[in-house]
Amino acid sequence: MLWDQHACVELIETADLAELHRYRPAGGGLVSLNVGYAPHGPDVTASLLRAFRSQVRAIDGLALAASVDDVDQIAAAGDTAVVFDLEDCAPLGGDLDAVSTLVAQGVRTLAPTYNYANRAGSGCLDTTDAGLTAWGRSLIGEMNRVGMVPDGSHVGVRATVDMCAASTRPVVFSHSNLRAVWDHPRNITDDQARAVADTGGVVGITGVGIFLGPNTPTLEAMVRHIEYAVDLVGIDHVGVSTDFSFDWQTFRDVLATSPELYDASYTAWGPVEWMPPETFVGIGAALAGRGWADGDIAAVVGGNFRRVAAESWHPLV
């Protein structure tokens, strides 16, 4: 099973989710699709969820997954299971009760901040990292309670460590690479990776060119980050994601028009390049070519994120 923990379509109700068929050569798996980030309030995310869920139901080869058993059945049929994620707490509108509502609509992962500080805590591009706020710690507790996975991608270093200390369930980096391999402020430190692994979580190595190297979205570059992460935190704590923007031209436009969300590290190597699904589905073969054992490949391309889901997607009793 190929488990892509984070991908993006244009955040409009008419985005064409049939694009997810580009994962089909993998032979069945899961894609977590973003439905909101820092600029979006609750109404926008609610509207996107209604539209996206309706599309998934109508498209042959895609299916909504409410449980890990659903994911297993969908993937076994050669189809793509779809769940959703959020980057930033803004779509909650400051209401912790919204977490359970979003879980019921298939949102299974949330990163408290998107690059810069908000009510929950500090982001990875902030010059001062004040960590997680008291409200942010309450958010992690509510996520634990209702079955939503805390995500450290885009979160500040100290805030990530605070998340791991606050969480009673696994924390993940849904789409973050290693700063020791490529020094980019969106990449994570060894200490962040260890903190997430200590919760039982997973570091999801991603295929965005500027996070892999000097805008190099290749399998070779991705494998370098994967192998470093495995050496650092162990085979049970590494996964993969594309962070592919199916609306890549729109995202490039946002980079130019929304400097408050990004910094020069996003554009220093020219227009951002992404690893497309057609390349991403070859990650297992690339690892096999490096001499990896079948069981280790299965863990990294899907098994580890599946384990976190099995441990986390149900409410605490």
pLDDT in the model for residue 277: 98
If you average pLDDT over residues 142-146, what whole number do you get?
98
Banded pLDDT at 178 (limits 50, 70, 90): very high
Name the nearest CA neighbour of 306 among 112, 25, 141, 67: 67
**Residue 51 CB-density burial (10 A; 0-12 exposed, 13-18 middle, 19+ buried):** middle
- Per residue in 93-141, pLDDT (tens digit) is 999 999 999 999 999 999 999 999 999 999 999 999 999 999 999 999 9
pLDDT in the model for residue 264: 94
**Residue 39 CB-density burial (10 A; 0-12 exposed, 13-18 middle, 19+ buried):** middle
On the CB side of 151, CA atoms within 13 Å amount to 29
- State yes or no: pLDDT of 259 exceeds 90: no
* Spatial distance between the Cα atoms of 245 and 34, rounded to a whole number of angstroms: 10
Over the chain, what is the mean pLDDT? Answer: 97
- State yes or no: pLDDT of 53 exceeds 90: yes
If you average pLDDT over residues 226-233, what whole number do you get?
98
* Spatial distance between the Cα atoms of 81 and 215, rounded to a whole number of angstroms: 30
Q: Say whether 22 sits in a helix, a strand or coil.
A: helix
Percent of the chain with pLDDT over 70: 100
- State yes or no: pLDDT of 218 exceeds 90: yes
